[in-house]
Amino acid sequence: MGMVDLEEIRAEVDSALAGFFDRATLAGGIEPHSDDMIEVIEGFVLTGGKRIRPVLCALGWLAADPQPRCRAPLIGLAAGLEMFHAAILIHDDVMDRSATRRGRPTVHRVMAGLRPDRGGQDGEWYGTCAAIVLGDLALAWADKLTCGQLSAEQLGRVLPQIAQMRHEVTIGQYLDLHSAGARSADADLAEMIIRYKTAYYTVYRPLSIGAAAGNASRETTRVLHHYGMPVGKAFQLRDDLLGVFGDPLLTGKPVTDDAREGKHTALIAHALTTASSPQAVKLGQLWGKPDITESEVDTVREILTTTGTVRAVENLITDHHRAALAALETPHLPTEVAEALRTIADQAVERDR
Amino acid sequence: MGMVDLEEIRAEVDSALAGFFDRATLAGGIEPHSDDMIEVIEGFVLTGGKRIRPVLCALGWLAADPQPRCRAPLIGLAAGLEMFHAAILIHDDVMDRSATRRGRPTVHRVMAGLRPDRGGQDGEWYGTCAAIVLGDLALAWADKLTCGQLSAEQLGRVLPQIAQMRHEVTIGQYLDLHSAGARSADADLAEMIIRYKTAYYTVYRPLSIGAAAGNASRETTRVLHHYGMPVGKAFQLRDDLLGVFGDPLLTGKPVTDDAREGKHTALIAHALTTASSPQAVKLGQLWGKPDITESEVDTVREILTTTGTVRAVENLITDHHRAALAALETPHLPTEVAEALRTIADQAVERDR
């Protein structure tokens, strides 16, 4: 095979997703009541998103089976992961009360806007309920995309992995919710959240799902694990930093979001262990403050910088990055796939959005 | 085969679900943060519930394959449907703001009680978020149960059906939400909601999922469709009546719930077409009134009775019941399965809970 073209994979996934919405709109005889809602999900799924999970899924497949006879099942499976991710984000944004995502209003905000006042329900509650249902619908559509093109044999290998991914990411979300506002220095808990929400979910599972579909050897799967876990951790740590230091124009979300929700990140856990007593008190007051201002976020930034937390987290990211690249030095991966995985690792740690 | 013992099927499903929670609690290393939450889902799934979907799924399978070599895959698949249903109910109760279900506090109420005040989040919002996540977790667990024991070949036949069921029930929920409080006499919309939320979801799809797993002939599947659709419609109409006229001690939910939410039921659509002008105005004021009282529900009952709506809906139920029984007069079903389906149809229309 030639070079693995990451942009081409992204384009194929986007086109599979767009094609699915065409069919979903046509099917079912549920018009006209559902036209708005289908458009909202479609807009959310097709606009923006880094497509990191589908790309990794495709690479996991190609790692095991570099020349698949037909690319449609591979792309369908990858697109199913992206649809699943959309569902997770829709529910996540409700829980975090986020107003924007990818620089656009979140799904619950859009839906609230469609029914500003409706039969005794206020618009905001309608938006919340609609986003719960639309998330559930995206989950059902993920199933349709996933099982649409795989053979029975492939399904038998892939589905336990997908069920496990769904279990893990949801446990991660629960831990996230459960610990939000706890303001503790519990680094173990922060590490556990990272493992479930990102290391597994964002990187390793997509790889292993693709690998299972492609019928990977045990060695190849092990390599993907050794690569995927550190990349996932580095990805999440970069996310934590961007959540406080990022440029909202690039990340698509306000810098106050993480702070307002009091996200239990490794960043904050580290800061609390190294902060002076007055710094820890200040951080405790600000992190999780529902009406935190941008200038208060400046104070958080200052504490994170002066305690050496930012430097420590950057060092961790570098270590994970190195470990991931080392895992790629193996005969158990096609060269072109290893090359593509190296690019992904670089992007995961160096990105500004 | 001997008689199909419906109680035995229910007991097997319950024991498969209980066994799953044992494993779920042990697995994953997510203690102690998640013990509470697993207990809450377990309590919800194992306590109460008519188990109509798993029983129908088992009957669909037995219709095609009366003597399965091994019952574990059949029971696992059936239990997966019950777990999926729990997820749907958990999200439904959030959206309906229901306080009780099956005579116990709903999941979002239980979760709200566990965190009365937490880091700036009020307990009620925490309960809402936790119920979103717990519903999502039950969805993931449904996947695990479903794909746990089926062969690849069975999965290949069953999964498109399950994806379709998930699509349909969620569309039904969206239509329900979308139309709540609309107070219109749109009987087509009410019919569409019945079709998606109940006729397909509660009766026909569980049958057809079981039938697909058992590799049913096209004739058998057609018979199950002709039986399932009217039973589903009768089931929903009975539900609508119980929602206004039922005994809360038996139904496990207050009689004000449907009225408060302004559910767009066939009952109300019919009443609005036959009501006198003052009755229609009154009904419009009360149905969907957020703080409706029990004595106001009495007024609703009076309107539903004097307009002949109750009688008309009872007649419809009788017609559907008859059509379902007629569909069972066929050589394409094993006698014992037809007998069991007759019992289910009787229970669906005659129940008081």
pLDDT in tens, A92-109: 999 988 898 888 999 999
Q: How far apart are CA B149 and CA B180, in angstroms?
A: 40
Q: Which helix or strand (DSSP H or E) is residue B326 part of?
A: helix B309-327
Residue type at B268? Answer: I
Asked whether B311 and B245 are in contact (CB, 8 A), the reply is: no
Q: Which domain holds residue B126?
A: 6-350
A160 interfaces chain B, CB cutoff of 8 Å: yes
**Optimal mutation site among A33, A168, A188, interface B, most CBs of chain B within 10 A:** A33
In tens, the pLDDT along B268-324 reads 888 988 999 999 999 999 998 989 999 999 999 999 999 999 999 999 999 999 999
Report pLDDT digits (tens) over B39-87.
899 999 998 788 999 999 999 999 999 999 899 999 999 999 999 999 9
- The domain that contains B145 carries what CATH number? 1.10.600.10
Q: How many domains does chain A have?
A: 1
Whether residue A182 lies within 8 A of chain B, CB to CB, comes out as yes
Contact with chain A for residue B130, Cβ under 8 A? yes
User: What is the secondary structure of B19-71 as a DSSP string?
Assistant: HHHHHHHHGGG-TTTTHHHHHHHHHHHHS----HHHHHHHHHHHHH-SS-S-S
Tell if the CB–CB gap between A120 and B162 is shorter than 8 Å. no
Please name the member of B94, B118, B155 whose beta carbon is closest to the beta carbon of A181: B118
In a domain, B122, yes or no: yes
DSSP state of B214: T
Assess B173–A contact: CB distance below 8 Å, yes or no: yes
Note the pLDDT tens digit of each residue in B123-176.
889 999 999 999 999 999 999 998 889 999 999 999 999 998 998 899 888 888
A1 lies in some domain: no
pLDDT of B32 reads: 65
Q: Which residue of A has its CA nearest to B154?
A: A152
Q: What is the pLDDT of residue B185?
A: 59
Q: What is the ipTM of this complex?
A: 0.88
Q: Does the CB of B137 have a partner CB in chain A at under 8 Å?
A: yes
Distances (CA, A) of B259 to A265, B171, B241, B243: 44, 22, 11, 8
How many angstroms separate the CA of residue A193 from the nearest CA in chain B?
Answer: 10
Nearest to B137 among A147, A164, A174 (CB): A174
pLDDT tens-digit map of A14-70: 999 999 988 765 555 565 667 788 889 999 999 878 899 999 999 999 999 999 989
pLDDT the model gives residue B13:
96
Nearest chain B residue to A154, by CA: B152
Res. A120: pLDDT tops 80: no
Domain assignment of residue B1, yes or no:
no
Query: Over chain B, what is the mean pLDDT?
Result: 89
How many residues belong to chain A? Answer: 353
The rounded percent of chain A whose pLDDT value lies above 70 is 93
Please judge whether B30 and A137 are an interchain contact, meaning their C-beta atoms are less than 8 angstroms apart.
Answer: no
Q: Is A145:A16 a contact under the CB 8 Å cutoff?
A: yes
**pLDDT-derived band at A116, boundaries 50, 70, 90:** low
Look at residue B99 and give its three-state secondary structure: coil
Q: What percent of chain A has pLDDT over 90?
A: 63
Tell whether B171 is within 8 A of chain A (Cβ).
yes
Distance (Å) from the alpha carbon of B289 to chain A's nearest alpha carbon: 7
Q: Do A137 and B179 touch (CB under 8 A)?
A: no
> How far apart (Å, rounded) are the C-alpha atoms in residues A298 and B339?
72
Residue A264: per-residue pLDDT: 80
Report chain A residues whose CB lies below 8 A from the CB of B26: none
